[in-house]
Amino acid sequence: MSAQSATYPIEQRPAPTRRREPVIASGVLGMLIFIFTEVMFFAGLISAHTIVRSQVAGQLWPPYGQPRLPIEQTAVNSLALLVSGAVLVLTWFAFKREPSRARIPLLLSILLGTVFVGFQGMEWTALLAEGLTLQSSTYGAFFYLIVGGHALHAVGALVGLAWAFYQLGKGELTASQLGTVSMFWYFVVLVWPMLYLKVYL
Amino acid sequence: MTRGLIVVGALLLLAIVPDVAHACPVCFDASDENREAFLATTAFLSLLPLGMVGGVGLWIRNRIRGIDEDGVSAQCVDHVETDA
């Protein structure tokens, strides 16, 4: 029997000093709070869009004389975004096994995301040429505001993923950092189907 | 039991009082679509933040419990090792 157990009965023995595991990483918590605000930003836009659309006489949407949105092409493009999110999940599991194995899936995820943003840019160029602008109608205003807001978030998230890829290359990327930037990309990926359903269909 | 009754009472009050007050400026719009849109988006914007905060709260609670359980089992191992 050790000296310690002779001094204290087992139930009164002081617990060994142990650094408590954080409930949630600071970066992840910060990103979570930021995402909450962004969810409400898009929820407000979607709500305004829903109400304005319900006030259109005869429920004619898009309004007469306004160009139609490329529904099919954007659906294919949306698939690239969704696959990018799925590949990022694989990146996480690969990172947990061996960080160096996460490089290829992370790069693939970034490339798919870039394809999505690039195609959206091409779509905007075509729609602007057809006369759909921010001032042309509430239809155009909502389209550019909602889809543009999402594109801005997508670019921000891609910058974060590119930074994570750079850190991974240097061998300095931590699980917390990868989790934080991935969470933002998941938000970009998951909010898009709802925006697509409301704005395009 | 009492707490449950208070919650049910509060919900009933919330459901009945606005109807009596006729406080909603858009609840009597001539257009059904517009009225439904206002009601749906009001519910959406009201419940979304509650759902998000509640979901994260539950997740953090479960995580704390998990960590505490891991900590207790680790402490038990420490004591067994010390006794040995």
pLDDT higher than threshold 80 for residue B81: no
* 0.90 surpassed by pTM: no
pLDDT in tens, A71-116: 999 999 999 999 999 999 999 999 999 999 999 999 999 999 999 9
Three-state DSSP at A14 gives coil
Per the model's pLDDT, the better-predicted residue between A53 and A154 turns out to be A154
The answer to whether B52 and A39 have CB atoms below 8 angstroms apart is yes
pLDDT higher than threshold 80 for residue A180: yes
**8 Å CB contact of A51 and B74:** no
Nearest to B37 among A40, A43, A51 (CB): A51
- Contact B39/A at CB under 8 A: no
Domain ranges of chain B: 2-83
A58: left (phi over 0), alpha (psi -120 to 50) or beta: left
**8 Å CB contact of A44 and B45:** yes
10 Å Cβ neighbour count for B15?
Answer: 9
**8 Å CB contact of B40 and A50:** yes
* C-alpha distance from A49 to closest chain B C-alpha (Å): 10
Q: With b meaning 16 or more CB within 10 Å and e meaning fewer, what string describes A136-171?
A: bbbbbbbbbbbbebbbebbeebbebbbebbeebeee
How confident is the prediction for chain A on average, in pLDDT? 88
Taking residues A57-77, what's their average pLDDT?
A: 83
Taking residues A113-126, what's their average pLDDT?
A: 94
The answer to whether A183 and A28 have CB atoms below 8 angstroms apart is yes
Rounded to whole angstroms, how far apart are CA atoms B10 and B73?
43
10 Å Cβ neighbour count for A112?
Answer: 19
